[in-house]
Each structure stands twice: as C-alpha cells, then as structure tokens.
Amino acid sequence: MSIILSLNSISKRYGAIQALGGVSFSIPEGSVFGILGPNGSGKTTLLGIVTDVLKADSGSFTLFGQAPSAVQRQKIGTLLETPNFYHYLSARNNLKVVAAIKRQSEADIPRVLDLVGLAARQHSAFKTYSLGMKQRLAIAAALLGDPQVLILDEPTNGLDPEGIAEIRTLIRTLATQGKTIIMASHLLDEVEKVCTHVAILRKGELLSSGPVNTVMAREDFIEIGSADVQALTRLIQQHPAFEKVLPNGNNLLHVTFNHAIDP
C-alpha cells in the first residue's frame, strides 16, 4: 500500500507557543486517518501546513511520495472551515459558485450531489437544509474535481446527533469508494467508530500513531459509570499522574499514565 502523506519532524511556533514540536508519521493510501487530540493540540496547524495555508518552521513532508507541488495538491480536496454558502441559492447553484471560484467544470456537480446524497434536494434553497445536509454540501464542494484525498477538520463539530450520524456514514461510504480521508477530531469515540488509523497529538507532540486497533490496545481506559464526564475529565486532566485524558463518549475515559510520576 503506498503512502499518501509522510511527515518528517514538522515544527511550528506562534510566538511563544510551540504548536507542533517535531511531528512525524505517515498516512497510508485508502485509510480513514484520524488526527486525534484535545483542543489546542496542533491538529488544525498540521492540516494548515499540509494544505499550504501555513508554512512549517522546520521539517518536511511528501505528498504521494513527492515534494509537495500544485500538481500534488490538485489531488486533495479540503474542508478546513465551513464555506459561506448563499442562503437563498439552491445546493446546485451554490456548487456552481464554488466551481467558478475553484475554476472547475460544472459538469462534476451532479456526481458530487449524488455522492453526498443530496441529488433529490438539489433545487431546494440552502436555508431549508438541516445541519447535516449543510455539512454534506460542504463535503460535496470539497469533492469537486474528484480528488483522491479528502482533508476534513472536525467534520462533525456543531452538528446535531442526526447530522453527526449522516456525516460519519458519508465518510465511511467515501472510504469504500477508494478515497483516502484525513480528519481531525477531538473525540476518541468518533475516531474509533470511523477511522482505520490514528495519530494522537497532545500539546504539539505525537503520542502514538498507527492502525486504530493497535494504537488503542496500547492505551488504558477508566470506567466512570454515570459520572459527569466533562467535570471528571477536567479534574483528572489536572492530575500529574495522567499524561493524557480523552472522554470517549461511552462513560469511559481514555487515559495514558505519566510514567515519569509515581502517583
């Protein structure tokens, strides 16, 4: 299996903040690759560097085994922030606007609408869409031009449960059609449900990476029953005995013990 993206010791600072401190890992073709970490761990910065929105201070990366170039980037569709769709335009006409901006052919619009399951509602005004449908349209826009790879930053953020389910199903469908998907998420639960591979970031450092089953087998879980997950997470995060704490949405906390500390 070939490597789509290979990162070699990528570092990035914002003034005093070390957003990424020498991160290296590889993303295999055909994977749904989750970049998992709490807010502020460097996920968006990493995706920004890969998509040429930001420049790394040091380190390098390859796309499709080659130095990154405009030709390589054409093979990548991105959804890094919610596009500004026109509320009174239909989905189809909104995609015509996107195609014009991206200098892409309108001929691809029926295909992407079909792919994201919006063909039947393509003539409805955007403002009548549910949250999940709006996000599916955003993914359709990223799929214009038939990129091999799709990069999504927190694709289910801000959605209702129905929308979350729609987007997770769509991601799995796209993967079965051969797309490689790279997605940032702060939800362990999401990565376990949707991704085949994962890289775990914390404070700009890579904690582990590889197939989800292998990586998760190395980690520990604490059953917390029906406790207030968020409050308990905050409490444990402050404790020096724990290196890493992530709620996984099932009354479980995913923790890595800080072996430098004897609690």
- The contact mask relative to ligand ADP for 10-49 (x = CB under 6 A, - = no) is ----x--x-x-----------------x-xxxxxxx----
- Which residue, 26 or 44, is less far from ligand ADP as judged by CB? 44
- Contact flag: residue 155 with ligand ADP (CB under 6 A): no
Name the minimum Å distance from CB 127 to ligand ADP. Answer: 29
- Which residue, 19 or 198, is less far from ligand ADP as judged by CB? 19
Structure tokens belonging to residue 205: 């450092």
Name the minimum Å distance from CB 130 to ligand ADP. Answer: 26
- Which residue, 159 or 199, is less far from ligand ADP as judged by CB? 199
Q: How many CA atoms are closer than 13 Å to the CA of 142, on its beta-carbon side? A: 29
CA distance 94 to 138: 10
Size of the site for ligand ADP (CB under 6 A): 11
Name the minimum Å distance from CB 13 to ligand ADP. Answer: 9
Name the minimum Å distance from CB 15 to ligand ADP. Answer: 6
CA distance 118 to 123: 9
Residue numbers of the site for ligand ADP (CB under 6 A)?
14, 17, 19, 37, 39-45
